[in-house]
Amino acid sequence: MATRCINRNLSEFTDVAEALGSPIRANSLITAWQDVNKTEALPTVAEAMQFEKSQKAFYNLKTREFTESLYGNLVRLGILTKFKNDYYVVSSRNRVYDPSVR
């Protein structure tokens, strides 16, 4: 990612900053939008808000995939069990920590 200097005095920047409530959030969002779109142009307020919405949806999807993968691995290792869509820790007194098991 290249270092950019966004002119904060431009009306496009101030409009996006006002819509987001913070010039720091606006700067971050504009930089990410420019990276995705491979452009140096500034997004409109509508484009910025749509981009933020899609980024949140993508983040939630990735979080869900990670969580499902983690739970799946823990079930496969016998650490968790699933019963009626809830996960429970398998507690066993004969379980001994083995550092060689990864």
What is the pLDDT, as a whole number, of residue 100?
A: 73
Residue 70 lies in domain = 11-89
Quote the CA–CA distance of 33 and 52 in Å, as a whole number. Answer: 9
Residue at 96 is within a domain: no
Helix (H, G, I), strand (E, B) or coil at 79: coil
As a whole number of angstroms, the distance between CA 84 and CA 99 comes to 32
Q: Is residue 41, in this structure, part of any structural domain at all?
A: yes
**Residue 5 belongs to a domain:** no
pLDDT of residue 34: 92
Q: Over 90: is that where the pLDDT of 33 sits?
A: yes
pLDDT digits (tens, 9 = 90+) for 86-99: 888 877 666 666 66
Which residue is associated with the tokens 């930089």?
31
- The answer to the question of residue 99 being in a domain is no
State pTM to two decimals: 0.61
Residue 46 covered by a domain: yes
Structure confidence at residue 7 (pLDDT): 85
Q: What is the pLDDT of residue 3?
A: 66
- For residue 92, the model assigns a pLDDT of 66
Q: Which two tokens stand for residue 14?
A: 């101030």
pLDDT at 81 over 90: no
Split into its structural domains, the chain has a count of: 1
Q: What pLDDT score does 35 carry?
A: 92
Q: How far apart are CA 35 and CA 49, in angstroms?
A: 16
Residue 29 lies in a domain: yes
Residue 2 lies in a domain: no
pLDDT at 62 over 80: yes
